[in-house]
Structure 1
Amino acid sequence: MTPGDEAHAFLELYAAEQGGPVRNPGTGPYAPSTEELTYAARVAWRNAARCVGRSYWRSLTVYDLRHLTEPGEVFRALQSHLAAAWNGGKVQATLSVFGPGVHILNSQLIRYAGYSDGLGDPLNARLTRQLQALGWQPPALRTAFDVLPVAIGQGGHYTLFEWEPEDVHEIDLIHPEAGPLGLRWHALPVISDMELRFGGLRYPCAPFNGWYLETEIGARNLADETRYAALRPLAEQLGLDTARERTLWRDRALVEMNRAVLFSFDQAGVRIDDHHSLTRQFVQFEDRERATGRSVNGQWDWLIPPLSPATTPVWGRSYHEDRRLTPGFFHRRSGQAGCPFQGKGKGD
């Protein structure tokens, strides 16, 4: 399809679902209204094959910031995005769309440094080196949870911006029986390496967030051997027998880590989902979509959680996946379809 055909197809979809006549995009490049941009972003979430949190797609808040391109202005808008999304702990799914030429180097706005000696988050080791090359200086007393600055690009040049303490909301993890774990995690997963595509257009700087599913933190970010590898220390703190695999200490520690994440977020009054509740909501979403005559785009291996997947209702289901469905969110580098909830459960 040509860009003109794609624009017309989107406007037909918008008219059919929102009511009213089909708008003529004119003879020049299609220029979406704020209302069309907002609906396109919501439908992009609805189409996200890897996302099990799509039942909330209609509630996505969208900020049309296409007039902003200067890095300092973009950073201040990102701070406002974080404040609005935080919403006093009742995290609100939020998306901000910026103007042409803006690029954010970080894959998420809030990231922990990964140092060459293994301290911190190994996932972010390359990003940490890139930010250091741009001039970032790690704190004198480094920790496993040092928040990285964000690099905002325009015209091939990056500018570094440090987050204020009030921009970053972190939760200290406490196990309900074992007590403090010496671990923490930030509460706002704002993805910033995907672009919004619809109507033959691409918006490369469109950071967005949902809220966490507990398995993203407890079963992947903190548990993976290639990330924080925190299962064995927890197992030892709980007095589990880690000498033999047949004691299933890894499985037991994995459940307890996820209990700690849920308990800690609940104690702090911060929104988070559990994998049983959310997968049941997804099945209800499927039913509603089919009632409207729409098929559900889905990638099964991303929809199932990494903890006890066979106990969830999505385990025995199958899905058709359209990797190029638009409106949609796509990774800038790979072109693969993505999701504001990071594929729920695959970690971040």
Structure 2
Amino acid sequence: MPVPAPHTPQPAQLPAQAELFVRQFHDEQPAAGDPAARLRQVLGEIERTGTYRHTPAELAFGARVAWRNAARCIGRLYWRSLVVRDLRHVEEPAQVARECFAHLRAATNRGRIRPAVTVFAPDRPGRPGPQIVNAQLVRYAGYPAPGGGWTGDPAGAELAGQARGLGWPGGGGRFDVLPLMVQRQPGDAPRLFEVPADAVLEVELRHPQFGWFAELGLRWYAVPAISDMALEIGGVRYPAAPFNGWYMGTEIGARNLADAGRYNMLGEVARRMGLDMSSAGTLWQDRAVLEVNIAVLHSFRAAGVTMSDHHGESQRFLAHVAREARAGRPTPADWSWIVPPLSAALTPVYHRYYDPVDPGQRPAFVARGR
């Protein structure tokens, strides 16, 4: 996930931010020609209306560079291939939801996951853009269990509670897909929309050696689409701009299914493996998490769903760093996010430092205040 950045520039800063972006666009897109005419157009539009509208080419470039600048993302080698869906005319919740589901179908691509972003209406003077309440377009609900503990994903508990307060019944299961919640503007009551089954590809998890693994009933969804961050380009803020790449296996196997505050599956896996769990020093957790990751990678590959492993993705990230260096650009990176949570020292990204993160760098995907 991209690193949070400060809030959008104040209107007084907009001309300067716009000029920086227009010049960057023309510098990196030589075919666009001299930026002088476009600058006059943009600055005049800001003076008349208080904002300006990006051209389709500027929007696509800005969204791709925002991914390039995402300091917490290891998969940036492919930033130029990001599919940009320009839906800036869409702002009503029902339309936003419908296009989010279209985004999921297009990004899923029958398992050949395509990195994509859908950009909805921007904030304008006196008319904020729509926003999506969900952290991801697809996420599982969490329910507190009567005797303590959880059913489902504790990370989805707050949103599940909010949705139930708005009339969503909830299924009480371990992998209930949360409804999409969309606000026309901040402060409005969210509207709920059930995510259609055909928009969510899920992979049932199996292990190549342990037949009992299937009895755990684990699954995960194919497309990690972040939806609670804003896209900022040249001083213009798009508060609803869901975007996705594809999963690296450790995100599911070493975090979502393994973390004590998530599905917390390592104890059950270790028990089934017959491991000595008398102390952490037996390394039972290490052995269990490895097998969970093997199951995740095996299952996604068997299902024909795009997924990278942490060794290959680490190599590709360093190829991205080298390519950016040849272009004369730094590669900001948050070490704690770039280094995988499994076998970290075995990956080449572990043994080096990275360019410092500039929280003011734009274009960028940024934390959205609510």
TM-score between the two structures when normalised by the length of structure 1: 0.93
Asked if 2 retains the 8 angstrom alpha-carbon contact of 1:178 and 1:237, the reply is: no
Please, which of 90, 108, 117 is the counterpart of residue 95 of structure 1? 117
Please, which of 28, 52, 58 is the counterpart of residue 17 of structure 1? 28
Quick check: 1:27 aligned with 2:27?
Answer: no
Counterpart of 2:177, as a letter, is V
SS of the residue aligned with 1:119?
strand
Note the C-alpha offset of 1:26.
3.6
Asked if 2 retains the 8 angstrom alpha-carbon contact of 1:49 and 1:297, the reply is: yes
**Aligned equivalent of 1:81:** 103
**Aligned equivalent of 1:267:** 302
Distance in 1 between the 2:263 and 2:90 partners?
37
Note the C-alpha offset of 1:255.
0.7
Asked if 1 retains the 8 angstrom alpha-carbon contact of 2:181 and 2:190, the reply is: yes
Structure 1 unaligned runs (5+)?
Answer: 335-348
Distance in 2 between the 1:318 and 1:84 partners?
36
Distance in 2 between the 1:239 and 1:323 partners?
47
Distance in 2 between the 1:164 and 1:50 partners?
30
TM-score between the two structures when normalised by the length of structure 2: 0.88
**Aligned equivalent of 1:200:** 235
Quick check: 1:172 aligned with 2:204?
Answer: yes
SS of the residue aligned with 1:27?
helix
Asked if 2 retains the 8 angstrom alpha-carbon contact of 1:49 and 1:323, the reply is: no
Note the C-alpha offset of 1:254.
0.8
Please, which of 309, 321, 327 is the counterpart of residue 357 of structure 2? 321
Quick check: 1:253 aligned with 2:288?
Answer: yes
**Aligned equivalent of 2:181:** 151
Counterpart of 1:201, as a letter, is V
CA offset digits 1:82-134 (Å, max 9, x no partner) = 11100110100000011142111111111111112111111111111111111
Distance in 1 between the 2:104 and 2:367 partners?
21
Distance in 2 between the 1:103 and 1:6 partners?
23
More off after superposition, 21-30 vs 210-219: 21-30
Note the C-alpha offset of 1:244.
3.1
Note the C-alpha offset of 1:245.
2.4
Counterpart of 2:174, as a letter, is A
Note the C-alpha offset of 1:72.
1.3
Distance in 1 between the 2:193 and 2:173 partners?
20
Asked if 1 retains the 8 angstrom alpha-carbon contact of 2:135 and 2:228, the reply is: yes
Note the C-alpha offset of 1:157.
2.8
CA offset digits 1:155-184 (Å, max 9, x no partner) = 413211001111111111101111213211
**Aligned equivalent of 1:64:** 86
Distance in 2 between the 1:21 and 1:65 partners?
28
Note the C-alpha offset of 1:243.
2.4
The aligned length equals: 332
**Aligned equivalent of 1:163:** 195
Quick check: 1:219 aligned with 2:230?
Answer: no
% identical aligned pairs: 48
**Aligned equivalent of 2:166:** 134
- Runs of at least 4 residues of structure 1 off by over 4 A? none
SS of the residue aligned with 2:151?
coil
Asked if 2 retains the 8 angstrom alpha-carbon contact of 1:112 and 1:145, the reply is: yes
Distance in 2 between the 1:122 and 1:26 partners?
47
Please, which of 336, 352, 369 is the counterpart of residue 301 of structure 1? 336
Quick check: 1:285 aligned with 2:285?
Answer: no
Note the C-alpha offset of 1:30.
2.3
Please, which of 178, 189, 198 is the counterpart of residue 224 of structure 2? 189
Asked if 2 retains the 8 angstrom alpha-carbon contact of 1:4 and 1:30, the reply is: no
**Aligned equivalent of 1:114:** 142
SS of the residue aligned with 2:134?
coil
More off after superposition, 34-43 vs 96-105: 96-105
SS of the residue aligned with 2:206?
strand
**Aligned equivalent of 1:38:** 60
Asked if 2 retains the 8 angstrom alpha-carbon contact of 1:43 and 1:328, the reply is: yes
Counterpart of 1:36, as a letter, is E
SS of the residue aligned with 1:152?
strand
Note the C-alpha offset of 1:331.
1.3
Q: Give the number of the structure whose residues are more often helix, by fraction.
A: 2
Higher Rg: 2
Counterpart of 1:281, as a letter, is R
Structure 2 unaligned runs (5+)?
Answer: 1-11, 46-50, 123-128
CA-atom RMSD in angstroms: 1.2
Distance in 2 between the 1:178 and 1:186 partners?
22
Distance in 2 between the 1:293 and 1:301 partners?
24
Note the C-alpha offset of 1:237.
1.7
